[in-house]
């Protein structure tokens, strides 16, 4: 009888410790699960006035906002299509580099070195109420000829 009581008490104690740990972790884990929204505001158009790569959302949304030299603003995936590593923009070389496999991409997302042979996908981008909105649930792929479709870019000169 005493042995069963000790084992039951031990399981009860471990259960309470597990519930307590979950309750302590809940406020820090839950916001992280919901912070990666599919549609997010990328700010105002004035923040992207010159052709460049703006990587403010690289880690939390896995998106780079790129103002291409031809005047298009695109929301490009920041994850390499080869293994999914977050790519780095190297302004001195004007290229993206994958730190995991060494894949290299031009500013427009076209690969030119490494094992990745698929261009970086673009996400839907829109201009509403003075804000740039990115919808990550919609992807545009260059190999399917989708980079010219409405929503795959914003023509900055027309805004």
Per-residue pLDDT of the chain (159 residues; tens, 9 = 90+): 687 788 877 778 887 777 776 666 655 444 444 445 899 999 999 999 999 999 999 999 999 999 999 999 999 999 999 889 999 999 999 999 999 989 999 999 999 998 989 999 999 999 999 999 999 999 999 999 999 999 999 999 887
Residues 25 and 74 in one domain: no
- pLDDT of 145 reads 96
- Please indicate, yes or no, whether residues 106 and 144 belong to a single structural domain of this protein: yes
For residue 113, what is the domain's CATH number? 2.102.10.10
Judged by DSSP in three states, 77 sits in: strand
Q: Which domain holds residue 139?
A: 39-158
Per the structure, the count of domains in the chain is 2
The pLDDT value recorded for residue 2 is 81
Q: Assess whether 21 and 78 both reside in one domain.
A: no
pLDDT of residue 86: 96
> Looking at residue 30, what is its pLDDT?
47
Pair 10, 82 in one domain: no
Q: Say yes or no: 71 and 135 in one domain.
A: yes
Residues 15 and 93 in one domain: no
Q: For tokens 């105002």, name the residue.
A: 44
* Predicted local distance difference test score (pLDDT) of residue 96: 97
- Quote the pLDDT of residue 7: 81
State whether residue 19 is helix, strand or coil. helix
The pLDDT value recorded for residue 125 is 98
Q: Does the model's pTM come out above 0.85? A: no
- Cα-based distances in Å from 28 to 25, 32, 39, 109: 5, 7, 22, 34
Domain identity same for 111 and 47: yes
Q: Are residues 98 and 139 in the same domain?
A: yes
Would you state the pLDDT for residue 26?
55
Q: Are residues 105 and 149 in the same domain?
A: yes
Rounded Cα gap, residues 159 and 153, in angstroms: 12
């Amino acid at each position: 009888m005493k042995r069963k009581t000790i084992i039951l008490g031990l399981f009860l104690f471990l259960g309470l410790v597990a519930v307590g740990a979950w309750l302590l972790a809940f406020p820090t884990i839950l916001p992280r699960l919901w912070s990666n929204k599919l549609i997010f505001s990328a700010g105002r158009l004035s923040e992207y006035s010159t052709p460049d790569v703006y990587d403010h959302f690289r880690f939390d949304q896995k998106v780079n906002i790129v103002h291409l030299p031809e005047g298009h603003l695109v929301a490009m995936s920041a994850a390499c299509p080869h293994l999914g590593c977050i790519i780095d923009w190297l302004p001195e070389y004007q290229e993206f580099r994958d730190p995991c496999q060494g894949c290299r991409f031009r500013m427009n997302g076209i690969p030119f070195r490494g094992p990745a042979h698929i261009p970086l996908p673009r996400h839907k981008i829109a201009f509403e109420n003075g804000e740039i909105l990115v919808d990550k649930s919609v992807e545009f792929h260059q190999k399917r000829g989708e980079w010219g479709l409405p929503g795959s870019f914003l023509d900055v000169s027309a805004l």
